[in-house]
Chains A and B, each alone.
Chain A
């Protein structure tokens, strides 16, 4: 069964600084990979997803993520963080062999942005 690890529970960055949130997965082959963002009091919104092909994927709000098969990682990056990026971020994996299998989510990383 697939699993997801987000090693960082909480990260604080300064506004304008770069950001990298880590995600490692466990799966026998290449899974489908997702990043979601949850603003306080809100539901989750899809930032980006990786299926195949180019290992660097672009998402909304200026985010990107890079799939590294050798490291079983799918880290989320942003070159310059804005105060509005403060939120909780979830990495998720999906089974590419079945449309009926639930996504598995990591436990999330909470991002704080300071002036």
Chain B
């Protein structure tokens, strides 16, 4: 099925560990983004990309790295996990046309202990 695939769905990390959250889309969307969702905070943008090789920071980029080597994939890296990064992470994509809505993945629930 066409869409946005996120892996893993659940993850527990120890403080200081690193990991990569995977995001892949098969709709040939140019635009991809990562959000985190925390209770009472809504969705906050971490990083986004308007095409392969192009990334930019969002509202809360600290502690996260991204790269976009292909149109399909947009992984999010946590270099040294902290308890403050406990959250639900969503990847979203869309065509780079003004007004297009996002297609969201089903999320990754991350707990840092």
Contact = CB atoms under 8 A, between A and B. Distances in A.
Given A43-B105, A43-B106, A102-B58, A94 B98 contact: yes
A105 to B, nearest CB: 4
B96 A105 contact: no
Contacts, number: 60
Interface string A14-51: 00000000000000000010101000011111100101
A34 B101 contact: yes
A84 interface: no
B100 A43 contact: no
Q: Interface size class for chain A?
A: 20 to 34
Interface in B1-50: 4, 31, 33, 35, 40-43, 45, 48, 50
Contacts of B99: 32, 49, 51, 94, 96, 99
Nearest to A49: B101
A46 B97 CA distance: 16
B102 A44 contact: yes
Contacts of A32: 98-99
B42 A46 contact: no
A9 interface: yes
A46 B100 CA distance: 11
A70 interface: no
A51 B101 CA distance: 11
Interface in A45-63: 45-46, 49, 51
Interface of A: 9, 32, 34, 36, 41-46, 49, 51, 90, 94-100, 102-103, 105-108
Interface of B: 4, 31, 33, 35, 40-43, 45, 48, 50, 58, 90, 92, 95-102, 104-107
